[in-house]
Amino acid sequence: MTEQQALYNYCIHLGDNALIQSYRLSEWCSNAPILEEDLALTNMALDMTGRAQLLLQYAGTLAGKGLTSDDLAYRRNEPEYRNDLITELPDADFAFAMVKQMFVSTFEYFLYSALKASTDSNIASIAAKSVKEAQYHMAHTTDWVVRLGDGTDESNRRAQEAVDALWPYTAELFETDDTEAMLTAKGIAAELPLIHTRWQNYITGTMLAARLELPANAYHHTGGRKGIHTEYLGHILTEMQYLQRAYPDATW
Amino acid sequence: MVTIAMTRPQVIDLLSTIPDPEIPVVNISEMGMLRDVIISEAGCEVILTPTYTGCPAMGQIEDDILTLLKREHIAPAKVTTVLDPAWTTDWMSDEAREKLRKYGIAPPVHSSCNHGCFTSNDIRCPHCNSIQTSMVSRFGSTACKSLYKCSSCLEPFEYFKCH
């Protein structure tokens, strides 16, 4: 694998994470429990669409075949998607959405904080913009996790169920593969073990404040980085890619 | 070889008449989005930076810039989007902040967004200048604003988040 291929894979991985999160957040449009949350979730989705566009655009440049961010978003099938599985899980309820987003946005806050120092100037500049947004998403969803966990018996029960269901998907965020190892050695990608420690500390503190408990089970799902997904990604792409599949190259 | 009839400061002045499509009371220069203009033998290049990564106004602003330059016969012209350095509300001019306040939007209070901007308890109401305000929603009608209310004059208002 050349460095250029590794960098392409890395951008696709980060870009797909942003894109699929954006899709799930957008589903809350007009469905959130209160109007303010409708605004919040769609604003967060917008930030992530922007980030996905930047990363996929850069990946397209690296691929060198004149690929655009739209080509990469709309013309790849699920085995070619490299997002972590947690991002594609459907939201069972609002608590599930908040716990999931808190887990992922906290990860992204620490990841992009580190990537600001990437030796690849494009990654560094995308990170410098993304970290400010991820910090805001992290703060917002942390507030909600604490409010729900430390709320009524019902909200605590739902938040705890979400933590239990989502926890087995969190370790995948910190997986390292050949791509990551090569880029980390060159200072392009971030040191994931370090980020894992910071993430774990933050999550532990939040769980304590929210009267929630992390499950003790050790089993963890994996596969996203190899293109092996849950059944949900296919359904997402079916809807997201419909127009470009039915009317290739349609513009408006 | 191309000769552009205007100087760099003249082009910047010209482009500074373009309003922010979402907050038309301020222009793209005061907002800190217009970073530079480069006049060379190749033509006129406008350097632009987005406020937020998903800012939906970018396409509109680019169109506005190219339309205006075309009208002034400045050709060839192109717009280049840069991300580095990342846009910050620190770049907003004092004039822009005052315009926002008069328009009913509380300007960003912190000099930088990197720390402590999530617990902004010191946002002044743009209508009555009271400090007795509270946040209603962290997110507002656009990515750059959140919603507040004033308990002195009872008016709701938008706050331009520090970023």
pLDDT value at position B1? 61
Chain B residues with beta carbon closer than 8 angstroms to that of A49 = 54
pLDDT value at position A54? 96
Q: Residue B137's domain spans which residues?
A: 92-160
- The reply to whether B17 falls in a domain is yes
- Please judge whether A43 and B53 are an interchain contact, meaning their C-beta atoms are less than 8 angstroms apart: no
My answer on whether B32 and B55 are in the same domain is yes
Query: In chain B, pLDDT over 90 holds for what percent of residues?
Result: 63
- Please judge whether B141 and A39 are an interchain contact, meaning their C-beta atoms are less than 8 angstroms apart: yes
pLDDT value at position B2? 72
- The reply to whether A252 falls in a domain is no
Region A47-63: mean pLDDT is: 96
pLDDT band at A33 (very low <50, low <70, confident <90, very high): very high
Q: Name residue, tokens 């709309």.
A: A74
Query: In chain A, pLDDT over 90 holds for what percent of residues?
Result: 94
- Please judge whether A136 and B138 are an interchain contact, meaning their C-beta atoms are less than 8 angstroms apart: yes
Query: Taking the CA of residue B40 as centre, how many other CA atoms within 13 Å lie in the half-sphere pointing to its CB?
Result: 7
Q: Which residue of B has its CA nearest to A43?
A: B143
My answer on whether B54 and B105 are in the same domain is no
Q: Give B146 to chain A, closest Cα distance, Å.
A: 9
| Number of separate domains in chain A | 1
My answer on whether B77 and B117 are in the same domain is no
ipTM metric:
0.83
pLDDT value at position A232? 98
- The reply to whether A85 falls in a domain is yes
Neighbouring C-beta atoms of residue A29, cutoff 10 Å:
12
Q: Which CATH number fits the domain that encloses residue A123? A: 1.20.1260.10
Whether the CA torsion A14, A235, A98, B116 is positive or negative: it is positive
Q: Give A87 to chain B, closest Cα distance, Å.
A: 19
- Please judge whether B118 and A139 are an interchain contact, meaning their C-beta atoms are less than 8 angstroms apart: yes
Q: Is pLDDT above 70 for A222?
A: yes
Q: Which residue of A has its CA nearest to B55?
A: A50
Region B78-106: mean pLDDT is: 92
- The reply to whether A152 falls in a domain is yes
Q: Give B119 to chain A, closest Cα distance, Å.
A: 10
pLDDT value at position B55? 85
Q: Which CATH number fits the domain that encloses residue B73? A: 3.30.300.130
My answer on whether B72 and B121 are in the same domain is no
- The reply to whether A251 falls in a domain is no
My answer on whether B73 and B111 are in the same domain is no
- Please judge whether B86 and A139 are an interchain contact, meaning their C-beta atoms are less than 8 angstroms apart: no
- Please judge whether A50 and B147 are an interchain contact, meaning their C-beta atoms are less than 8 angstroms apart: no
My answer on whether B67 and B108 are in the same domain is no
For B143, which of A47, A125, A140 is closest by C-beta distance?
Answer: A47
Chain A residues with beta carbon closer than 8 angstroms to that of B161 = 136
pLDDT value at position A12? 98
pLDDT band at B118 (very low <50, low <70, confident <90, very high): low
pLDDT value at position A206? 98
The pLDDT tens digits of the residues spanning B120-149 come to: 668 999 999 999 999 998 898 888 889 999
Region A227-244: mean pLDDT is: 97
- Please judge whether A50 and B138 are an interchain contact, meaning their C-beta atoms are less than 8 angstroms apart: no
- Please judge whether A132 and B141 are an interchain contact, meaning their C-beta atoms are less than 8 angstroms apart: no
Q: Is pLDDT above 90 for B54?
A: no
My answer on whether B106 and B129 are in the same domain is yes
- The reply to whether B116 falls in a domain is yes
pLDDT value at position B121? 66
pLDDT value at position A179? 87
- Please judge whether B83 and A126 are an interchain contact, meaning their C-beta atoms are less than 8 angstroms apart: yes
| Number of separate domains in chain B | 2
Question: Which residues of chain A have a Cβ shorter than 8 Å from any chain B Cβ?
Answer: 36, 39-40, 43-44, 46-51, 53-54, 121, 124-126, 128-130, 132-133, 136, 139-140
My answer on whether B77 and B12 are in the same domain is yes
pLDDT value at position B111? 61
- Please judge whether A46 and B118 are an interchain contact, meaning their C-beta atoms are less than 8 angstroms apart: no
My answer on whether B59 and B99 are in the same domain is no
pLDDT band at A93 (very low <50, low <70, confident <90, very high): very high
My answer on whether B102 and B145 are in the same domain is yes
- The reply to whether B1 falls in a domain is no
- The reply to whether B38 falls in a domain is yes
My answer on whether B49 and B105 are in the same domain is no
pLDDT value at position B3? 77
Q: Is pLDDT above 60 for B116?
A: no
Of B37 and B53, the structure prediction assigns the larger pLDDT to: B37
For B55, which of A36, A50, A132 is closest by C-beta distance?
Answer: A50
Q: Is pLDDT above 70 for B91?
A: yes
- The reply to whether A60 falls in a domain is yes
Q: Residue A93's domain spans which residues?
A: 3-246
Chain A residues with beta carbon closer than 8 angstroms to that of B50 = 50, 129
- The reply to whether B60 falls in a domain is yes
Q: Which residue of A has its CA nearest to B87?
A: A129
In chain B, the N- to C-terminal Cα span, in Å, equals 41
d(CA B53, CA A201): 28
